[in-house]
Amino acid sequence: MISTNDFHTGLTFEFEGQLYEVVEFQHVKPGKGAAFVRSKIKNLNSGAVTERTFRAGEKVKRAHLDRKEMSYLYRSSDQFCLMDLTTYEQITLSEKEMGEAIKYLKENDTLTAVVYEENVIGVELPVTVELAVVETEPGVKGDTASGGNKPAVVETGLTVQVPLFISIGDVLRIDTRSGAYIERV
């Protein structure tokens, strides 16, 4: 158990049968009445972010999450097969469980699976990934990095805004947090 007075960003806890992560919190001590903790919490099962007020000192059950390095093997319809890199055990996850990660993954990529009580509840990607351009308008002579942007489709199907000089076959480094082009590799 952990007290709401000990909340910090990134803390995971179980409350009313659901897993939550603290996104934001503020300890409030009004001049009159009891102190309380105003917080924004993210439901780790649904991804919904809600605001919740707890009494100061209220106890919640701390949730210990494990992280395992996994390799993405293949996709079969709406199921994604992953392999634990230490035990070589294979698991399958649905599109919903994979979330936004499917836009950035290609076969044999490594990712981190977030595990709670032996169940995978989500995946975390590296900060950047390298993907090849499969479709974009051809560049024109004289285009520069400061010129403008155009859409490009990468090998996973993700569409990214890129500089005009990028062409088909170029490998790009893409930020998985924002989906933005960083540089040509």
**Percent of the chain beyond pLDDT 90?**
51
Domain 2-62 CATH (choose: 3.40.50.970, 2.30.30.30, 3.30.110.30, 3.40.50.2300) = 2.30.30.30
CB 181 within 8 A of CB 129: no
Rounded to whole angstroms, the Cα distance separating 1 from 55 reads 15
Compute the average pLDDT of residues 49-58.
92
Neighbour-count burial for 31-46, b at 16+ CB within 10 Å, e otherwise: eeeeebbebebbebee
Q: Which pLDDT score, from 0 to 100, does residue 144 have?
A: 58
| Domain 128-184 architecture | Beta Barrel (2.40)
CB 175 within 8 A of CB 139: no
For the stretch 161-175, pLDDT in tens is: 998 888 899 999 999
Q: Which pLDDT score, from 0 to 100, does residue 97 have?
A: 83
**Percent of the chain beyond pLDDT 70?**
95
Fold classified for 66-124: OB fold (Dihydrolipoamide Acetyltransferase, E2P) (2.40.50)
Compute the average pLDDT of residues 13-32.
91
Which stretches within 54-124 are classed as H helix? 95-98
| DSSP state, residue 8 | -
Identical fold, 66-124 and 128-184: yes
Whether 48 has a pLDDT exceeding 80, the answer reads yes
Cα separations (Å) of 24 from 38, 118, 122?
8, 27, 20
Q: Quickly tell me which residue has 């005009």 as its tokens.
A: 164
Domain positions in the chain are: 2-62, 66-124, 128-184
pTM: 0.71
